[in-house]
């Protein structure tokens, strides 16, 4: 694969099975929980990608010991838990563009205290973290901005936790609440800690992942709807022994959409009806568009029933997978509207703006708003060179525009900077080629 671009030939039909890489959200949460827990943890099928490499390197810099074991079926990472006491009291940590790493780690380091600096790529320094830092500092931590207020880079010093209630905004990124929930047991030494959510909580399924994993590590969170969460004192993370990482449901969306657009059946393995990831609900959105979906315990399959139906729906619960719906809309029978997706604007890039620009290149009529996007498909998709904005999901989404090739033989789609998929799915284009017939 050329690092600068990849050319995708038109494909008339897709079929086959894809074994998914591990979930990014689950992988980075499990890594931090394992590091903070008492005992040794064996993590099976951890995602191997840029974002998990960032977290693994950070943990090593903090003195957390881990080893990787290759087995016949995959990998096992053995992490030695430090029971909430980090061996290294100072470290300089490079966090890349990994929101799932920097946000929980900032909270953990702030609560534990020390002398730590966290920084990342230029885009990371444009991704908000102020609501999390405000919540932490109000509770007694000592986190300073060394660049623009409200954004990384950060300098963390020793603080003293005095609060028993914290409040955090829920409407910018669910990762702020995730970060506070994960470190709440470290704060609840003598007193219970309650976390109040201010405003509407977005991306609730990601909080469900967090709560599920916290429970797996032996800590109970009391929940008052989505308004507040309480952790009773004296709870300590305990190793679950061995823990398996589910396949990435966001990554599954591209292959399921491929089956929806270009025949199928396409089966993804590693997620199914028992998944703890909200993004499996992407399959329900495809069903609304007329796609035939079947599910097992550990697999989902999509098969086309002809032209897709246009959709008008709220996608706040699955913002990452919803990007794939915007591409599926190119193959629908009318205008599709994706609503309540303001969080797209503070992701790896401003995804509403980027999606609008690139969809127009292939001939779509697009209307973008502060928190919605409307896509009207073209009569014929125009070949184009797609820019990816250093955003893994832009690259994976737009690979789908090479489908339905019967209508436009010889029309090559060019994807610039395809290596950006390394953030979550380094082998993506090989997996995509394997189902393209």
Q: Are 81 and 36 in contact (CB under 8 A)?
A: yes
Question: How many Å from the N-terminal Cα to the C-terminal Cα in the chain?
Answer: 19
Domain 5-21+246-435, architecture per CATH: Alpha-beta prism (3.65)
Residues with catalytic roles:
320
Q: In the structure encoding, which two tokens stand for residue 286, read together?
A: 């495809």
DSSP secondary structure string for all residues of 9-51: --BS-EEEEEEPPBPHHHHHHHHHHHHHSBSEEEEES---SHH
Residues 246-304 have pLDDT tens digits of 999 999 999 999 999 999 999 999 999 999 999 999 999 999 999 999 999 999 999 99
Task: Give the CB-side neighbour count of residue 387, counting CA atoms within 13 A.
Answer: 11
Q: Are 161 and 199 in contact (CB under 8 A)?
A: no
pLDDT surpassing 80 at residue 196: yes
User: Mean pLDDT, to the nearest integer, of 89-98?
Assistant: 97
Compute the distance between CA of residue 162 and CA of residue 258 in angstroms, rounded to an integer.
52
Q: Where are the beta strands (DSSP E) in 95-192?
A: 115-119, 142-145, 154-157, 165-169
Residues 49-77 have pLDDT tens digits of 999 999 999 999 999 999 999 999 899 99
pLDDT surpassing 80 at residue 96: yes
Compute the distance between CA of residue 379 and CA of residue 120 in angstroms, rounded to an integer.
42
Cα-based angle 197, 200, 201 (whole degrees, multiple of 5): 65
Q: Which residues contact residue 225 at a Cβ distance below 8 angstroms, ignoring those fewer than 6 apart?
A: none
What pLDDT, on a 0 to 100 scale, did the predictor assign at position 2? 60
Q: Are 417 and 1 in contact (CB under 8 A)?
A: no
Could you give the percent of the chain with pLDDT greater than 90? 95
Residues 33-56 have pLDDT tens digits of 999 999 999 999 999 999 999 999
Stretch(es) of the chain classified as CATH 3.65.10.10: 5-21+246-435, 24-244
What pLDDT, on a 0 to 100 scale, did the predictor assign at position 346? 87
What pLDDT, on a 0 to 100 scale, did the predictor assign at position 405? 62
pLDDT surpassing 60 at residue 153: yes
What pLDDT, on a 0 to 100 scale, did the predictor assign at position 45? 96
Preceding peptide of 265 cis, ω within 30°: yes
Task: Give the strands of the sheet with 385-386, arranged side by side.
Answer: 5-8, 413-416, 385-386
User: Mean pLDDT, to the nearest integer, of 350-362?
Assistant: 97
Q: Is the pTM of this model over 0.95?
A: no
Compute the distance between CA of residue 113 and CA of residue 256 in angstroms, rounded to an integer.
44
User: What are the Cα distances from residue 267, in Å, to 20, 26, 192, 350?
Assistant: 10, 21, 45, 31
- CATH homologous superfamily for the domain 24-244: Enolpyruvate transferase domain (3.65.10.10)
Q: Are 252 and 300 in contact (CB under 8 A)?
A: yes
Residue with tokens 């977290």: 55
DSSP secondary structure string for all residues of 85-118: --S-SEEEEE-TT-HHHHHHHHHHHHHH-SEEEE
Band (pLDDT 50/70/90 cuts) for residue 138 is very high
Cα-based angle 261, 263, 267 (whole degrees, multiple of 5): 95
Band (pLDDT 50/70/90 cuts) for residue 161 is very high
To the nearest 10 degrees (0 to 180), the angle between helices 99-112 and 50-61 is 20
Strands 40-44 and 75-80, bridge-based pairing:
antiparallel
Could you give the percent of the chain with pLDDT greater than 70? 98
Compute the distance between CA of residue 184 and CA of residue 196 in angstroms, rounded to an integer.
12
What pLDDT, on a 0 to 100 scale, did the predictor assign at position 411? 80
Band (pLDDT 50/70/90 cuts) for residue 409 is low
Band (pLDDT 50/70/90 cuts) for residue 437 is confident
């Amino acid at each position: 694969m050329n690092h600068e671009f990849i050319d995708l030939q038109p494909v008339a039909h897709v079929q086959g099975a894809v074994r998914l890489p591990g979930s990014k959200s689950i992988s980075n949460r499990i890594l931090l929980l394992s590091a903070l827990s008492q005992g040794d943890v064996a993590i099976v099928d951890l995602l191997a990608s840029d974002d998990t490499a960032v977290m693994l390197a950070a943990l090593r810099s903090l003195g957390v010991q881990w080893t990787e074991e290759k087995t016949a079926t995959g990998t096992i990472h053995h992490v030695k838990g430090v029971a909430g006491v980090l061996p290294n009291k100072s470290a300089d940590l490079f966090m890349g563009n990994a929101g799932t790493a920097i946000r929980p780690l900032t909270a953990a380091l702030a609560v534990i205290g020390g002398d730590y600096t966290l920084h990342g790529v230029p885009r990371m320094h444009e991704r908000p973290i102020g609501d999390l830092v405000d919540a932490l500092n109000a509770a007694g931590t000592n986190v300073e901005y060394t660049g623009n207020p409200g954004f990384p880079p950060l300098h963390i010093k020793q603080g003293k936790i005095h609060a028993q209630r914290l409040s955090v905004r829920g409407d910018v990124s669910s990762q702020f609440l995730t970060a506070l929930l994960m470190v709440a047991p470290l704060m609840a030494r003598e007193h219970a800690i309650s976390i109040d959510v201010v405003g509407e909580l977005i991306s609730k399924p990601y909080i469900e992942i967090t709560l599920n994993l916290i429970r797996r590590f032996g800590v109970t969170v009391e929940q008052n709807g989505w308004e507040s969460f309480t952790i009773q004192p004296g709870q300590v993370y305990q190793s679950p022994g061995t823990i398996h990482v589910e396949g990435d449901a966001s990554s599954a969306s591209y292959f399921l959409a491929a089956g929806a657009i270009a025949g199928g059946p396409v089966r993804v393995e590693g997620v199914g009806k028992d998944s703890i990831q909200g993004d499996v609900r992407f399959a329900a959105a495809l069903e609304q568009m007329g796609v035939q979906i079947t599910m097992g315990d550990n697999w989902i399959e999509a098969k086309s029933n002809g032209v897709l139906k246009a959709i008008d729906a709220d996608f706040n619960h699955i913002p990452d997978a919803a990007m794939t719906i915007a591409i599926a809309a190119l193959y629908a029978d009318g205008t599709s509207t994706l609503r309540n997706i303001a969080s797209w604007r503070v992701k790896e890039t401003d995804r509403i703006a980027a999606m609008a620009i690139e969809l127009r290149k292939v001939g779509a009529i697009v209307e973008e708003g502060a928190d919605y996007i409307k896509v009207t498909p073209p009569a014929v998709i125009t070949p184009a060179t797609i820019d990816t904005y250093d955003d893994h999901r832009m690259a994976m989404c737009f690979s789908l525009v090479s489908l339905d090739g019967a209508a436009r033989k010889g029309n090559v789609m060019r994807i610039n900077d395809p290596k950006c998929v390394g953030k979550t799915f380094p082998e993506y284009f090989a997996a995509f080629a394997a189902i393209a017939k």
